[in-house]
């Protein structure tokens, strides 16, 4: 005879008074017993929490955050010119991004890095040969 007391460990097993030990209430075939499934779920949750804590610690390391923008013109040989149907040599295009830097970078180094990165982006990902009249905007985010 089974009573209605769930297992203290997993809540899925039931104590069988006739047998004198816990048995699984699920009669069908399964690869994991409910206790094993509960243990695996706990392990996954612990790993998720550890990952979240590691992510939080990494975020705390970032001391500088910038919004950066490049504004430029491109010439007829730019690799992405075909994707701009209204292109003219005078038409300005812009790209922006958000950057985070650790305290290993000075503001000058961070600015130089952002400029090089944005120039590559504006150049189509290859180089900056085909971008001209380049201007940058930087805003430090607190």
**What averages of pLDDT result for each successive group of 10 residues across the chain (142 residues)?**
49 53 48 64 88 82 87 94 91 94 88 95 90 96 84
Q: What is the dihedral of CA 135, 137, 138, 139, to 10 degrees?
A: 170
Contacts of 36 (CB under 8 A, 6+ apart): none
pLDDT of residue 69: 97
pLDDT of residue 30: 41
pLDDT of residue 129: 93
pLDDT of residue 12: 54
Provide the token pair at 62: 């970032």
pLDDT of residue 6: 53
pLDDT of residue 105: 87
CA nearest neighbour of 30 among 22, 38, 20, 42: 38
Backbone CA torsion sign across 126, 128, 134, 140: positive
Residues 68 and 118: beta-carbon distance below 8 Å: yes
Burial 47-83 (b: 16+ CB within 10 A, else e): eeeeeeeeeeeeeeeeebebebebbbbbeeebeeeee
User: H-helix or E-strand containing 47?
Assistant: helix 34-61
Provide the token pair at 108: 């000058």
């Amino acid at each position: 005879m089974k009573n209605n007391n769930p297992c203290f460990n997993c809540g899925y097993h039931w104590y069988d008074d006739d047998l004198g030990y816990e048995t699984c209430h699920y009669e069908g075939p399964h690869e994991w017993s409910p206790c094993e499934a509960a243990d695996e779920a706990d392990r996954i949750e612990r790993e998720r929490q550890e990952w979240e804590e590691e992510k939080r610690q990494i975020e705390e390391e970032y001391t500088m955050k910038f919004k950066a923008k490049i504004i430029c013109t491109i010439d007829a040989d730019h690799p992405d010119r075909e994707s701009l149907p209204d292109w003219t040599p005078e038409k300005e295009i812009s790209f922006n991004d958000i950057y985070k830097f650790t305290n290993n970078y000075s503001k000058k180094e961070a600015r130089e890095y952002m400029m090089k990165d944005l120039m590559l982006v504006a150049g189509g990902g290859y180089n900056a040969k085909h971008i001209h009249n380049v201007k940058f905007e930087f805003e430090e985010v607190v």
